[in-house]
Structure 1
Amino acid sequence: MTDFSPREIVSELDRFIVGQGDAKRAVSIALRNRWRRQQLTGTLREEVLPKNILMIGPTGVGKTEIARRLARLANAPFIKVEATK
């Protein structure tokens, strides 16, 4: 991931995902904070605890697509697991 601001991440997500503004802002900030933590070195990096993202909601609201697009933006792997099937 390059040095994207949360606003730039939201803009990229806006190209593919309609609505879900609050969710896009929240995951954009989380992704940016994760990237910033990875830039730290030594003991400072150990002091800043990593955070995870848990998206919940009804079927069809865009959770999977947001995660897929974030993974692509961050050059991270994306694995989808269906727990209900």
Structure 2
Amino acid sequence: MTSKSEKELIYAPGGNGAEPVEGQELLPALDDMTPREIVAELDKYIVGQTDAKRAVAVALRNRVRRQKLPPEIAEDVLPKNILMIGPTGVGKTEIARRLARLAGCPFIKVEASKYTEVGYVGR
């Protein structure tokens, strides 16, 4: 990856966005990142789940591209959401958390098990 100027870099979440926090790394602007670069960033923190990381990287890149489209066209570009399904402990939450950090977005986790029947097992 080529060297980026200060204007093309964003600060990783955690500070006020204007000044770096000690130990905070600069990340390339998401607009300039390819899915391969997004996967490489996720690879620093997440072992395995190659297919999942590729899928969310492409989805994140498509989101960035969709935001650049005129509103009347952007509405027709699908999908707009990601649904990650898998057993407990495979890394769904961590992938989502790292992706949110990379995108500079807040990460909110909502536990929905209290809304399901006791003992319910999805199929």
Number of residues of Structure 1 aligned to a counterpart in Structure 2: 85
Residue 63 (structure 1) aligned with residue 92 (structure 2): yes
Higher normalized strand content (fraction of residues)? 2
Q: TM-score, normalised by structure 1?
A: 0.90
How much has 1:44 moved relative to structure 2? 2.5
Contact 1:37 1:50 in 2 (8 A): no
SS at match of 1:47: coil
**Aligned to 1:5, which of 34, 42, 46?**
34
| 1:61 CA drift (Å) | 0.5
Query: How far 1:81 moved relative to its partner?
Result: 1.0
The Cα of 1:51 is off from its aligned counterpart by 1.9
Other-structure match for 1:34: 63
CA distance in 2, matches of 1:40, 1:47: 10
Q: CA deviation at 1:84?
A: 2.1
Separation in 1 of the partners of 2:53 and 2:75? 27
SS state at 2:75 partner:
helix
The answer to whether the 8 Å contact 1:34/1:50 transfers is no
Corresponding residue of 2:108 = 79
Aligned equivalent of 2:121:
none
Unaligned runs of 5+ in 1: none
- RMSD of the alignment, in Å? 1.4
Structure whose alpha-carbon radius of gyration is higher: 2
**C-alpha distance in structure 1 between counterparts of 2:71 and 2:88, whole Å:** 42
More RCO (CA 8 Å, sep 6+)? 1
Deviation by residue 1:34-63 (Cα, 9 ceiling, x = unmatched): 110001124332332452100011111000
Deviation at 1:83, TM superposition (A): 1.6
Q: Which has the higher helix share?
A: 1
TM-score (norm 2): 0.64
